[in-house]
Amino acid sequence: MQSHLDELVAAVQALMWLDFVDPSRIVGLGNSEGALHVLHYATSTQEVPVVGIGLAAPPGRPIQEVLLSQLALQVPGWAQLLPKVQEAAARYTAGEPMNPDLAPPESVKMLLASFEALANLPLARELWAESTRNSLRQVQIPTPVLIGGRDVQIDATADGDPLQEAAAGKANGVS
């Protein structure tokens, strides 16, 4: 996650030097996984703080839960695969290889294996258990949260309700 935050910091610093940008009025917008990175920026001490952030389709559950719910909607015979995928997910959460012991479909094996690809592994491990709701509780700037009712990846209820709970009672415009 740090490498993504570093990239965002560099982008904001580049923006602040543009003649037509007022550095005291920069806002961040993050979609899906990008919402996590914008939240990390907004909840950390930065040379150029953002004055607000917008979160579009942020995961309100850990990425692991989002992935399993997406698979449940898209993979035929999911009920039979679920116990094996949950076992693989538990191993991964514990820091071990997934080693999915699955029958077809091969697409599910490939998806799970992508989390262990060397190029993806550091970020994937951090992302696996992350949820926007944890960072959203720390936000002290205006933050509208948008989730479409027909979004196929992020569920308005399963993800939206935990985010509403995290924002409850905030007087700073988090909604």
Q: What is the mean pLDDT of residues 143-151?
A: 92
CATH number, domain containing residue 149: 3.40.50.1820
Q: Are 41 and 96 contained in the same domain?
A: no
Instruction: Provide the pLDDT for residue 74.
Output: 86
From 13-27, 41-55, 90-104, the region with the lowest mean pLDDT: 90-104
Number of independent structural domains in the chain: 2
Q: What is the pLDDT of residue 24?
A: 96
pLDDT reading at 16 higher than 80? yes
For 97-132, b where at least 16 C-beta lie within 10 A, e where not — what string? ebebebeeeeebbebbeebeeeeeeeeebebeebbb
146 plus 110 within the same structural domain: no
Which range marks the domain in which residue 107 is found? 63-128
- HEC string of 32-86? CHHHHHHHHHHCCCCCCCCCEEEEECCCCCCHHHHHHHHHHHHCCCHHHHHHHHH
Domain membership flag for residue 174: no
83 in any annotated domain: yes
Give the pLDDT confidence score for residue 174 in this predicted structure: 66
Report if residue 172 sits inside a domain: no
pLDDT for the residue 104: 64
One domain, residues 36 and 84? no
What pLDDT is attached to residue 99?
Answer: 85
37-64 average pLDDT score: 95
Same domain, yes or no: 136 and 115: no
pLDDT above 80 for 79: yes
